[in-house]
Amino acid sequence: MSKINYFVQQGYTILDLDYRGSSGFGRDYRTDIYRFMGIKDVESGLAGTDYLIKEHNINPEKIGVYDISYGGFFTLMPLFKHPGFFAAGVANAAFSDWAHYCYLWTSRILNLPFDDPKAYEILSPINYAAGLEDPLLIVHGLIDDNVHFQDAARLTHKLIELEKPFEVMYYPKERHVIEIQASRLDFHKRLSDFFKKHLLK
């Protein structure tokens, strides 16, 4: 059973968003986040959430945000820059500072860091961590070979310095995607318990 099906069966409404920057919708849609990654695409998410509130009577105080990898980055940005919009978020294997990721990927959207350092500064979640007001669970594999564990470690330390409350779970034997059965069971239980605590109370 997929996570979406599971959460629907638990009584949640799910919005699975194809935000700006997604492929399959034409060049303009895919490239619209050039130097606006984490801004224009997040605005798509906020607009979609407003649609659920206005058209489907979803309680605005009971909406969470979750995903993995870029979706983890997508989780951090609204939590940090739009506090109070989401009631809780889970960031799994999230990018927190683009300056530490592969330049072959980021240069297509942000240029190279030494050519365009401002873009990296204004589009990295770690620089907005002071805005966190809502419950956050950070999840990361210690041997992640895509988004390296240092992203989670640096963000965790930043939140500690800022005296922000948050939760964290690191998986010692997991890479970018949680695959070991025991780890998967543990993660899904934590994910379910976290949202049940903050969204269904």
pTM for the structure as a whole: 0.91
Buried-exposed string 170-193: b where 16+ CB fall within 10 A, e elsewhere? ebeebbbebeeeebeeebeeebee
CB of 178 within 8 A of CB of 184?
Answer: yes
CB of 171 within 8 A of CB of 120?
Answer: no
- Return the active site residues: 69, 144, 176
The CATH number of the domain covering residues in 3-199: 3.40.50.1820
CB of 178 within 8 A of CB of 190?
Answer: no
Q: Return the pLDDT at 12.
A: 87
Tens of pLDDT, residue by residue, the chain (201 residues):
577 888 888 888 888 877 666 666 666 656 667 777 888 889 888 999 999 999 999 999 999 999 999 999 999 999 999 999 999 999 999 999 988 887 777 777 777 888 888 888 999 999 999 999 999 999 999 999 999 999 999 999 999 999 999 999 999 999 999 999 999 999 999 999 999 999 987
120-123 CB contacts, 8 Å cutoff, 24+ apart? 123/35, 123/36, 123/37, 123/38, 123/39, 123/98
> Which run of H or E residues covers position 136?
strand 136-141
Q: Return the pLDDT at 188.
A: 94
CB of 125 within 8 A of CB of 38?
Answer: yes
Domain residue extents for the chain: 3-199
The pair of three-digit structure tokens given for residue 9, joined into one six-digit string: 């069966």
Q: How far apart are CA 21 and CA 190, in angstroms?
A: 30
